[in-house]
Structure 1
Amino acid sequence: MGEAMRNEPALAQLLTAREVADRLRITTRTLYRKLERGGFPKPVRLGPQCVRWDEGDVRAWVDKMRVSESVM
C-alpha cells in the first residue's frame, strides 16, 4: 500500500434510500417527503437514476433532531 493511500481519509459510506429508510424506521416515501420539505440531508447523485446518502450526514441529522427534541 502506498503512502498516499494510508494518509487519505476513508470514503464515506453511501446508503440507498431503502437503507436510510430502514435505519430511520420509516418508508422510502416518508424519506422523500422529508427531503421535499427541506432540512433532511440531500443525496449524492451518482447517475441519472442512482442517488445515495452519506451515512455521516444522516447520522448528523439524527443527532440534530435528538438535540432539538431534548430542548423542547
Structure 2
Amino acid sequence: MGEALERDAPITALDQFMTAKEVMDRLRIAHRTLYRKIEEEGFPRPIRFNANCVRWREREVVAWVEAAAARNVEARV
C-alpha cells in the first residue's frame, strides 16, 4: 500500500482535507455508512479542528480506498 500513514502525523501545508460530504460523494456512500466504515472497517478517523469542523486527510482516504481495492483483487484470485 505504500508508506504507512501515522494517525497522529503532523498536519503539513501540503495536506488536502475533505468534508464528510466530499468523502461520501467520492465513495458514493451515505453518512451512516461512512461512520460504520470507521467503526467496523478501519476507515480513517476524521480530524476535529473544532466543534463544527471535522475533516479527513485526502491522502488517508485515497490510501484506504487503494488498500480496499487491493484486498478485493486478492480475494478474487
On whether the aligned pair clears a TM of 0.5, the verdict is yes
Deviation of 1:49 after TM superposition, in Å, equals: 2.5
List 4+ stretches of structure 1 deviating above 6 A: none
Q: Tell me the number of residue pairs that the alignment of Structure 1 and Structure 2 aligns.
A: 64
Query: In the alignment, which residue of structure 2 is the partner of 1:4?
Result: none
Normalising by structure 1, we get a TM-score of 0.80
The answer to which structure has the higher helix fraction is 1
For the residue of structure 1 that corresponds to 2:55, the secondary structure is strand
The range that moved more, 42-51 or 18-27, is: 42-51
Identity, % of aligned pairs? 52
Q: RMSD of aligned C-alpha atoms?
A: 1.4
5+ residue gaps, structure 1, are 1-8
Deviation of 1:38 after TM superposition, in Å, equals: 4.5
Query: In the alignment, which residue of structure 2 is the partner of 1:3?
Result: none
Q: Measure, in 2, the Cα distance between the counterparts of 1:38 and 1:59.
A: 15
AA aligned to 1:23 is: R
For the residue of structure 2 that corresponds to 1:46, the secondary structure is strand
Normalising by structure 2, we get a TM-score of 0.76
5+ residue gaps, structure 2, are 1-11
